Structure 1
Amino acid sequence: MTRDKRLTAARPDLAAESLRGIIEAPRYALGERRVVREPVAPVRRAPSPGASLDTEALLGETVTVYDEDMEGWAWGQLDTDGYVGYLPVNALALPDAAPTHRVSVPRTFLFPQLDIKLPPLATLSFGARVAVRSERDGFAITAGGAIFARHVVPLEMKEPDFVTVAAQFLGTPYLWGGRSAFGFDCSGLVQTALAACGIAAPRDSDMQEAALGAPLDPSGPFRRGDLLFWPGHVAIVEAPDLLLHANAFHMMVAREPLEPALARIAATSPLRAAKRL
């Protein structure tokens, strides 16, 4: 059986202990749990700052680390969606208090104290997970600082409409491998919007095409929430005549009339599939 390398914690010299007897490797590792401590941590294809950005992990997400090298890179697997890659060791920490809340606005500041006039310690993205210890004077207080309380919601709270969530990010720059409000790629936007509604989705567009929804006639008609797939691209139908997607034509999350968008994209790549959740 051919295994997807993106989701398989195995390389020529090492594999996850869970793959023993399935994949042959010189050695196996149980892995150790780590938590992302930076607002956004890159997950790269190779242990180098110049390597391709495959995806990102957000503050509070957990990673199973199988190996660390002397150059400051950890090789592991994201618990959120199973993606495997290399992360900077200094972006990770040992688990502490379990997250209780997530950031529910596109971006928000983490302040050192309960005072918005102070320089922020960091800027957090939508979906970042934090452990709120208490609330006071309109702030949610964490071990790392204070966040405007109305910018976070309990982890169990789900958004009602993933299209509305995705539309919050109109104008956000396009970033290959991006999965945060600082930069999205097409499938990162879809995955993030669905996650806010409690719907788990794979990371990449081909995975999403295979796993999500029921097939539709690619010729339409379409309705709000339908997903359209091309080779290497996914877009959201915002309304029967509107398309919403992170794309490299606009280099940002953009809204555009459906028919002209379909015609433009078809000039280089035919619409391959349509799915309804």
Structure 2
Amino acid sequence: MALKNPAKSPFVSNVRLFCVVLCMAVSGIYAGAAENGASPTFDDLTMSPELYTPMEIPGAALPFVPKDGKPLAGLTILLDPAGGQEATADAKVTTATLAADASVLTTGHLYHALVTAGAKVTTTRWDAAPQPLSERSKRVAEQDPDLVLTVRHLPDEIETALPMAQGESNEGLAAEAARMLSKALGFDVQVAVSGKAPVHATVWFGSADETTHAQRLATRGFHREESRALYEAIVAGWKDHNSGAETAASAPPAVAPTGDFRDKLPAWPKLHDGIRSYSRTLWPLARPAETAAEVQKMLEVYQRFVITEPVFFLLDAQVDKTDEGWVLSGKSSHPFLTSATKELMLSVGCDPVVNRMETLPSARLGEKRFGIVRVPMAMTWASARQGDSVQSQLLLGEPLWLLDESDDGFALLVQGGEGYIGWVRADQVTRVAGPEFDRWLNAQKTSVPRDGWAGNLRIPAGARLPLMVDGANLRLPPGALPDIDALAVDQAKSLVGTGRLGKMAAFVAAEFLTTPYVYGGRSRLGLDCSGITSAAWSAAGVTLPRDARQQVLCGQLVATPWHQPDLRAGDVLFFMDPSGKVFHAGISIGGKRFLHSSPPEVQLSSLDPADPLYTALWHKHFAMARRMAE
């Protein structure tokens, strides 16, 4: 099996430079024999269990997501959060400021519930910047929505809200909406409704007591309750007020035939949207596939240009056309890569597909499916033949996730700490089982800033070795030197990673809990998945690239789909979509729990099936986790 090594772009190189951590100089390194002999279970390593214990975050709960079908299908809604003001030097944070932000938070959260229910939704404001009334009124005229919903949190915000639509007020509908909202929220809510095309509703979430009102607006997650109450009122009210529009929308428009041969394939409607899109790009021919060679070429292009970093995610697929059908064989490192390959073949008329792909790691590895580099430096190659296209170089002590081994036992297919996949000589690796590997992986580490020696064993600059419990020695991998398993390092404690930066990043991320998901956002009023990871790590002093597919290039590999140990606070988790692309990121708060921004909000989820915050969807899509700093 051969691996391909795509040309490395200058951008990728620059991204990796962001992730280099400069270490202090070691004043002296010398060899020393372990006093009592090293235990193969690595019980002599310094651990920091507090870094892997989930942080306590009050208010964590699964978000509300509508599950009542598409009751608003075909309707267009314009959300209008009132408020917003220009920044001035003498301005103070007042209830008006909180109220303006509150309206953005509520409408930002509501946006996702309405879209899930089938509505077409836009908004006049996503952030704190004010929008002139002229611009907002222009939006109404251009979009011609069925419903304009203005949300206010102060009475005097009427001056910054859209003027009510012309026409008679609908006092009955307003009273019913106010009753529903007040009952759901436990305080009086005022509603005004007027007009017919569009219907314009203004809702004021207020309180006669300004102090009580300000305290409520400062409470994390208040907008969740308002959003859900508004959603339920809109669904109920629209059925009575505009049932004609809803009835018309219930029948989807007919889709005109495109003339594409794919439209006639039985499997086409069932394929993932991403696969269908890539199929049209990767297969421009106006006919179905005819030969295995042309399908093989399509899969090679898919591997090179669609999969996020092919050096991180392995796909080695072969196609044959036999009497059985189209036979798909080979190996992949993620179930989605296997299923995506099969779906791509179905999308170009390969039917039936006989799937004989193996999802790694291979069962023949047995219990010891992990490894530690036992030599100073070890090259990895594109195949099990030594010297066949260099992939990368591994350093002493580097943890390895084993994927496969050659038939003759000469080489192991491994994924190293930087994420690269390649073949390495088996005699350069000490194989261990999961529990021992986790202790080595999660022990406190010291980075070696310049070459040193233990006898005639080179300790290369850049190697990261675990600190032993005595605080004065670094652990060598088993088998690195006969009768020597430790290094004494002067001032070792000053070089040990403490996990402080990751903990800080996790604390910052926790402040965003319940913030609405806003694509492209990076602020308290709304942010997306890579926005929260980049903002959290930026606060800790580490700059990450903007997008998840770029962030996955940074840091040290610490978890894979087939091995998910407890993560350290601050570790960044990445998720793959069914087309093979990294599409989502989150940040660990320790253990199996992680914070992430996914519609409708920043939420807390878990990879532990026993956790009430567990979601099988994220477990299925998990691709890897990486540690951005020690």
The TM-score normalised by the length of structure 1 is 0.46
Return the structure number with greater relative CO, CA threshold 8 A, min gap 6. Answer: 2
| Max Rg structure | 2
Task: Give the number of the structure whose residues are more often strand, by fraction.
Answer: 1
The TM-score normalised by the length of structure 2 is 0.22
